[in-house]
């Protein structure tokens, strides 16, 4: 059951990242943000994919 905790709903991810649905759509469509499509309109995200994408897109100055 611990693996289920690693699944993030779209609504939860919007809240966690504090972004709009439009922004999340752009991240998926233009920036390669990974997701799992359950149906045409229902998506979930794997925590490890979110962490990987954030690390890969980290800006270093």
In a domain, 7, yes or no: yes
Q: Is residue 42 part of a domain?
A: yes
Question: For residues 25-39, b (16+ Cβ closer than 10 Å) or e, as one string?
Answer: eebeeeeebebeeee
> Does 23 reside within a domain?
yes
**What residue numbers bound the domain in which 40 lies?**
2-56
Structural domain contains residue 61: no
- pTM (2 decimals)? 0.84
pLDDT tens, N- to C-terminus, the chain (61 residues)? 566 679 999 999 999 999 999 999 999 999 999 999 999 989 999 999 999 999 999 998 8
When divided into structural domains, the chain yields a total of 1
């Amino acid at each position: 059951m611990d693996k289920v905790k690693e699944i993030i709903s779209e609504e939860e991810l919007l809240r966690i990242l504090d972004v709009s649905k439009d922004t999340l759509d752009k991240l998926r469509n233009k920036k390669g943000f990974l997701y799992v499509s359950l149906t045409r309109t229902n998506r979930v995200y794997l925590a490890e994919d979110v962490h990987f994408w954030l690390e890969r897109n980290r800006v270093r100055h």
